[in-house]
Chain A
Amino acid sequence: MSTTPTGAPAARTARPRVLRGLTWLVLRQHRTALGCIAALVVLGSLWIVYQRGQLIDLLAAAGWPGKTVPQPVVGEGYRNLTSLLGLLPGILAVFLGAPLIAADQEQGTAQLVTTQSVTRRRWLVAKLGWCLLITLVACSVLSAVFTWWWRPYRSVLPDIWMDTSVFDTTGPVLPALALFLTAAGITIGVLVRRVLASMVVTFVFCVAAQAAWGMFRDHLGTPRTVTYPLNADFPAHLADAYEVDRWVGSADGQLHGWGSCAEATEKATNACIEEKGIVNNVFEYLDHGQMAAMQWTGAGILLAGAVALTAFSLWWASRRPL
């Protein structure tokens, strides 16, 4: 220790200070997280570009769209990618949101910062602002790149648009879901004030919230109904529609359950159809054309939730001792 050189302050101060004040502090404190997220976004985007290129080559070789291509056109990589995108909001909430304020409370660094010349509210705004901004940027980029791949080739890709692996990972839903869950993680951290406990609670919350979100998704759009003759083929333009329900109906518009005439023999089935006067198939569905409206509606709801949670945690943490 006695041999430590003590006369070289110039090397340190020579570097120009680009970042200042709280921005510098927050980015320095979270520089590991920032690096991980940046790497994830860059590598994730490159991976999507690579897989998209592979798919384009494969489709060109098969003569698509002129000819049909044998399924599946994508392999394990696509599955892993959609899983990663689906997990990303939860990962950000648990590892970025929950410890954001709780770690500073637990280690006392909240006290350190707020007894410098910055108020608690300014510090909280800087922390939350940075965290939510990086979440928004990272998820928007990945969502945009994935949407750019999925949209033109959705007819050959395995998932339909209402699946979690597409609806929640494209368009505005991925960033909105990530912002909502991360804001929830921050709020849980502010309330629990312990890193590990808040991460566990946030994880449980994410599982529950995403399950509830999956059940709620059907209600984002108003289902449409189409009626076509009993013996006719399924209308081709509805190939990528999402089925909500399906009936058989009589000429006077009375609906019967889809299997209400599923009898053991064809004779019995025909008798049943005749008896009930069934002439039509009735198909209730959500059209792919509704996807954008449904995604923006859902994103709006999630963003409103994120704003409410952020406002609550700012208010709560500003009025209580940290």
Chain B
Amino acid sequence: MAETSNPGGSPGTWALEAYGLGKRYRRGWALRDCSFRLPAGRICGLVGPNGAGKSTLLGLASRQIKPTEGDLRVFGKPVGDPEVMPRFAFLGQSKPMFKRFTVAETLRMGSELNPGWDAAAAERIVRSGRVPMDAAVGTLSGGQRTRVALALAFGKRPDLLLLDEPMADLDPLARDEMSTLLMAEAVEHGTTVLMSSHILAELEDMCDYLLVVADGRIRMAGDADALVPAHALVTGLTRDGDLPPALARHTVIEKRVQGRQFQAMVRLDGPLSGDWQLSEPSLEEVLLAHLRSPDAPALYTPGAQIETHGSMTA
């Protein structure tokens, strides 16, 4: 898993490809100059602070928002092509549903509007949560609603599942249940998942791919297993109250100086030699360092990089 695995590299093997993607609202750019690739079959976490452009990116991928510039492809097809519609499912944060519909009617809606509807899968998900089929959706609890929404999403048999903070309003028990359900279904059908989340621990458990956005730009993209070892947490003595110049040939993401001691999150550009203490950071530490330092250059692991956009490399 350390290598970004995508043998063959034909267009269909990329679930998402963005080329210079941008979206401008009246207030300004929500997302700009966004280029990355997401290989099929991965569980990808979409991380970033509020207002970073996560929902905009998911809105673009689910055809609810039209890009101002650039190009987005879903399994090799332009996102504007109606043919991509059966291939993805989207679950928004508010999980909108018809409140007066019963659960059965909600699933029927899925079967009426989707050509490849898998009624058995959808009903299995609903029944395994003991959600009554004849209950109105408006009377269900948050966890039950999320379960019905996931049943609707998986009943569509999507190749790509887009989730916008799906667990945000759930209690810990329901969240655990939904995560388990989501992972089981995704693994069983080989579904690519792109999910935004604030909960870094959740991402660490579930995701093997990461997309980090801040200020409307991609900060990091690639294998979770490859992104972390590219960084080191360096502790040592300061020189003239600042970092030692020997560190300057590496990319310093974040530094903290306390008295004579410094601690820095460094992206290694070669062997690191010096009288310093090195430790491997956790995923959470790497993510936080990048989110706190939006000016650090973006990092892509090899497969996530779009070739035509070659100015920034890992």
Chain A interface residues (CB < 8 Å from chain B): 1-2, 4, 6, 9, 12, 20-22, 24-25, 28-29, 107-109, 111-119, 319, 321-322
B113 touches A9 (CB 8 A): no
- A117 near B112 (CB under 8 angstroms)? no
Residue of A nearest to B128 (CB): A6
Instruction: List, sorted by A's number, 26 A–B pairs whose CB atoms are closer than 8 Å.
Output: A4-B132, A6-B127, A9-B123, A9-B133, A20-B112, A22-B113, A25-B113, A28-B105, A107-B96, A107-B99, A108-B94, A109-B97, A111-B90, A111-B92, A111-B96, A112-B98, A115-B62, A115-B88, A116-B109, A116-B113, A116-B156, A117-B85, A117-B86, A117-B115, A321-B59, A321-B64
Q: Is the CB of B64 within 8 A of A2?
A: no
Report yes or no: A29 in contact with B98, Cβ–Cβ below 8 A.
yes
Residues of B within 8 A of A (CB): 59, 62-66, 82, 85-86, 88-90, 92, 94, 96-99, 101, 104-105, 108-110, 112-115, 123, 127, 130, 132-133, 156
Q: Are A118 and B85 in contact (CB under 8 A)?
A: yes
Docked pose: A116 CA to B112 CA in angstroms: 10
B222 to chain A, nearest CB (A): 27
Which residue of B is nearest A32, CB measured?
Answer: B100
Residues of A within 8 A of B64 (CB): 111, 114-115, 321-322
Please pick, from A12, A20, A24, A322, the residue contacting B104 in the complex, using a CB distance under 8 A: A12
B90 touches A115 (CB 8 A): yes
A19 CB to closest chain B CB, in angstroms? 9
Query: Chain B nearest CB: distance from A239 CB in Å?
Result: 55
Closest to B153 in A: A115
Instruction: Give every chain B residue within 8 A of A117 (Cβ-Cβ).
Output: 85-86, 113-115, 156
Instruction: From the candidates B63, B94, B108, B133, name the one contacting A115 in the complex (CB within 8 A).
Output: B63
Cβ of B130 and Cβ of A116 under 8 Å apart? no
State the CA gap A113–B152 with chains docked (Å).
11
* Bound-state Cα–Cα, A109 to B108, Å: 15
CB nearest to B93 among chain A residues: A108
**Nearest CB of chain B from residue A292's CB, rounded to whole Å:** 44
Cα–Cα, bound, A9→B111 (Å): 15
Q: Which of A1, A28, A321 contacts B65 (CB 8 A)?
A: A321
Contacts of B59 in A (CB 8 A): 321
Given contacts A4-B130, A6-B127, A21-B112, contact A115 B98 (CB under 8 A): no
Are A22 and B127 in contact, CB atoms less than 8 angstroms apart?
A: no
Quick one: closest B residue to A320, CB to CB?
Answer: B66
Question: Complex Cα distance A107/B96, Å?
Answer: 7
**In whole angstroms, how far apart are the Cα atoms of A109 and B112 in the complex?**
16
- Name the B residues within 8 Å of A119 (CB-CB): 82, 85
> Is there an interface contact between B132 and A1, defined as CB atoms closer than 8 Å?
yes
Closest to B110 in A: A116
Query: How far is the CB of B226 from the nearest CB of chain A, in Å?
Result: 32
When A4-B130, A4-B132 are in contact, do A116 and B114 touch as well, CB less than 8 Å? yes
